[in-house]
Amino acid sequence: MSVEVTRLPSGLSVVTDRMPHLESATLGVWIGAGSRDEAPDEHGISHLLEHMAFKGTKRRSARQIAESIEAVGGDLNAMTSVESTAYYARVLKADVPLALDVLSDILSEPAFDAEELRREQNVIVQEIGAVQDTPDDLVFDRLQETAFPKQAVGRSILGTPETVRSFNPARIRDYLARNYRAPDMLVAAAGAVEHKAIVEEAEQRFAKFIGPAAPAPEQAQFRGGTRVENRDLEQVHIALALQGLAVRDEALYSLQVFTSVLGGGMSSRLFQEVREKRGLCYSIHAFHMPYTDTGLFALYAGTDEIDAPELMRVVIDEVAKATETINEAEIAKAKAQMKAGLLMALESSEARLGQLARQMLAYGRPIPLDEIVGKVDAVTIASARAAGRALIGSSRPAIAALGPGKGLESTAAIAESLVRRAA
C-alpha cells in the first residue's frame, strides 16, 4: 500500500492509498465543517445540505444521480457529524472517474429546487421524529446538550422541525459558500486508484471551491449538569458524560485504553460487573469522542427504574476503582483491540478511506500505522490510571436520563454526588 498526499494551489488536499489487491475503490469528499459550524439560526442546516446535495444538479435530476452510480454497481452515501461532512462513493476501478464526476457535480452545481427542498425537509422532520421514538439515541442528544449547553457543539445534528422547515435555497447556498472552501476540503480515495489520476480529476472538477479557510468555531466549554425527562418507557435510559480530551492531546491514547478497559466490550469491567455479575441491565458501554478542542467521555446503560439507583452506584464505583486497579492484562487486551481495529481497516477500502480522512482533518497529514501502533504500545498502567483520574476530576458531570418513575431525579443526583466523591 502506498499513501500519497498532494495539496493543490487552491488549498484543496488530495490523499490516496493504493490497495493493489482490490478491484474496487472508495472515494469521497470531506469538508471540515459540521453542525458546530452553524449559527444559532442555522441549527440543522449542515445535515439538510448533505441531503439536498443528492436532490438534483444543473446536469442531473435526483433520480439520475442515484442511477448513474447504481447502473455501474456502485453505491453513494453521505454523513454529517459535529465537525465534518462527507460525501462518498464505492465503485469498481473503471468507474472512479464517474464517481468523481458525480461527487463534484452534487457539490459544485446543486440545484436546490424548492419543491425538492420541501420534500426533503419533511423527510428530515420524520427522521427527527424517529429519534424522539428511540430513547437510547435521544438520551445522547440530551447528554450532548447538557454537557455543552447553548453551544453549537451541544446541539443535535438533525436540528428541530422548526429550524429545518425555516431554510430556503438562498440560506443553504450561503452556508455552502461560507464553509465549503478548498482549504477546508479533502478529496480522498482508497483501493484501486492511481494518485496522479485522482489529483488531475480533483484539480479540474473542484476548481470552483476557492477562498480562505473558514474561521475556527467558538471554543467549546464543557459545563455539565442534569437533564431528566419522565417518559412512558419500559426502561430508564441513563447517560453520563465527563470532559474528555481533544484529538491532539498527548494523553489521548491512554484515555482510549482506559475507556476500553472500563466499558469497551463484553469483557470490559462494566459489562462483567453490572450485567454479568449483578444482572442490573441488558446494555452498558463507555466510549470517548475527541473533538478539535475538547472531548466527551460517556457511559450509557438501560435498566429498570427500580434498579437504576443501584446501577449508578455500581457504575461510579467501578469507574473510581479502575483508576487505581487497572492491570497489565487489561491494558494488553485493550491495546490488542485497538491495533486489531487499525489493521482490519486495511482490509476494506471504505474503512481505510474513513481512517485517512479523519487523520487528514485532525492532523493535516496521514498518520503512518507504525506511528499509531507506537503510541498505543507506549500506554502504561500508570498512564492509563492517570488518564482515568484526570477524567474524573476534570469537570462537573453531565447526566441525562429518560424513562418512567419518580426516581430519575434521585438516580441523577446519586451519579453526580458519586462522581464528585470519586474525584
235 and 380 together in one domain: yes
197 and 229 together in one domain: no
pLDDT per residue as tens digits for the range 332-385:
999 999 999 888 888 899 999 999 999 999 999 999 999 999 999 999 999 999
62 and 125 together in one domain: yes
Q: Identify the domain boundary among 205, 234, 261.
A: 205
How far is Cα 398 from Cα 375, in angstroms, rounded to an integer?
30
Nearest to 356, CA basis, from 20, 24, 29: 29
351 and 276 together in one domain: yes
Q: In the chain, what is the greatest distance between 2 CA atoms, to the nearest angstrom? A: 63
Residue type, 172: I
Residue 213 inside a domain? The answer is no
Reported as a pLDDT band with limits 50, 70 and 90, residue 221 is very high
Active-site residue, selected from the candidate residues 42, 50, 120, 305? 50
Q: Which residues pair with 338 in a beta bridge?
A: none
257 and 396 together in one domain: yes
Angle at 370 between CA 260 and CA 334, to 5 degrees: 15
Q: Which residues pair with 17 in a beta bridge?
A: 3, 190
272 and 352 together in one domain: yes
Beta strand 2-7 with 85-92 is unpaired
How far is Cα 15 from Cα 412, in angstroms, rounded to an integer?
46
48 and 171 together in one domain: yes
pLDDT per residue as tens digits for the range 155-204:
999 999 999 999 999 999 999 999 999 999 999 999 999 999 999 999 99
195 and 257 together in one domain: no
266 and 409 together in one domain: yes
334 and 388 together in one domain: yes
The structural domain count of the chain equals 2
Inter-residue contact 154 to 145 (CB < 8 Å): yes
Residue 212 inside a domain? The answer is no
Inter-residue contact 128 to 159 (CB < 8 Å): yes
At residue 333, the pLDDT reads: 96
pLDDT per residue as tens digits for the range 32-87:
999 999 999 999 999 999 999 999 999 999 999 999 999 999 999 999 999 999 99
Residue 310 inside a domain? The answer is yes
Share of the chain above pLDDT 90, in %: 87
Q: Quick check: is 145 catalytic? A: no
Residue 283 inside a domain? The answer is yes
Residue 214 inside a domain? The answer is no
Q: Range of 54's domain? A: 2-205
Average pLDDT value for residue range 218-229: 93
Q: Identify the domain boundary among 150, 171, 205.
A: 205
Q: Indicate the helix (H) or strand (E) that contains 26.
A: strand 24-31
CATH number at residue 81: 3.30.830.10
112 and 159 together in one domain: yes
Q: C-alpha grid cell for residue 342? A: 487499525
pLDDT per residue as tens digits for the range 276-304:
999 999 889 999 999 999 999 999 999 99
Place of cell 452498558: 284
316 and 349 together in one domain: yes
How far is Cα 176 from Cα 208, in angstroms, rounded to an integer?
12
Residue type, 296: L
Angle at 100 between CA 96 and CA 105, to 5 degrees: 150
Residue 235 inside a domain? The answer is yes
Q: C-alpha grid cell for residue 410? A: 434521585
At residue 421, the pLDDT reads: 66
CB atoms within 10 A of CB 33: 24
Residue 271 inside a domain? The answer is yes
Q: Identify the domain boundary among 205, 235, 253.
A: 205
Residue 170 inside a domain? The answer is yes
Q: C-alpha grid cell for residue 182? A: 478548498
